[in-house]
Amino acid sequence: MVKPPLNSGMMELDALFDEIRACRICVDQPIRAPLPHAPRPVIRGAATARILIAGQAPGTRVHASGKPFTDPSGDRLRDWMGVDEATFYDETRIAIVPMGFCFPGLDAKGGDLPPRRECAPAWRDAVMAALPAVELILAVGLSAMQWHLGSRAKSGMTATVADWRAILADTAAPSILPLPHPSWRNSGWIKRNPWFEADLLPVLQRRVAEHLRSAD
């Protein structure tokens, strides 16, 4: 039997990402109204990544930059994880795969719309299969929690994040840690739930450090 080249998994993932970056399903075959602008899918990762950040969808700044979390929410997420920018953007160690790959547009109040409904059913299973080394999934926001936890997710974001100890204990290969979105709009939520910074964040930082060390 001929063994595949050592980088074959990365080659397969690169090919998949090329397909995703060319995707126009939300314009050509939308579930509801089409995306109101040209698609610009944003996704990062390598087959060797041990940590997966499952976010929501790009915002306006990320749509412009083409690079995930290049905004204040990214600064906060990196602080939560206890990593610097270079580590955060090291695709060989951390993959960033949002639930919706493109900026979904703004609602009537100027906030971001939910992730497009076309992305995850079309692509997510294939992406997860192409990331075999992932040991820890950070499910950021309710959409990511519902997809990756399924019936294990509670009825709302707060209840699901509050159940983080049981979720972390009950999920394996990979384990899952639910997080609120690091948007500064959630600053009030963080103040109302002091256990998040006092109890969850130290565990998050410890687990991230452990998985990063295992990738070295």
- Token code pair at residue 52: 């997966």
Over the stretch 104-120, which tens digit does the pLDDT of each residue have? 999 888 888 999 999 99
Bridge-partner residues for 51, per DSSP? 94, 136
> Would you say 158 and 119 are in contact if contact means Cβ atoms under 8 Å apart?
no
For residue 65, is pLDDT > 50? yes
Domain that holds residue 181: 8-215
For residue 18, is it within any domain? yes
Over the stretch 148-205, which tens digit does the pLDDT of each residue have? 999 889 889 999 999 999 999 998 889 999 999 999 889 999 999 999 999 999 999 9
For residue 152, is it within any domain? yes
For residue 2, is it within any domain? no
- Token code pair at residue 108: 């009537």
CATH assignment at residue 117: 3.40.470.10
Whole-number CA gyration radius for the chain: 17
> Would you say 21 and 90 are in contact if contact means Cβ atoms under 8 Å apart?
no
For residue 139, is it within any domain? yes
Mean pLDDT computed over every residue of the chain = 92
Angle at 96 between CA 65 and CA 91, to 5 degrees: 90
For residue 150, is it within any domain? yes
Over the stretch 37-63, which tens digit does the pLDDT of each residue have? 999 999 999 999 999 999 999 999 999
Looking at the structure of the chain, the number of domains it has is: 1
For residue 142, is it within any domain? yes
For residue 3, is it within any domain? no
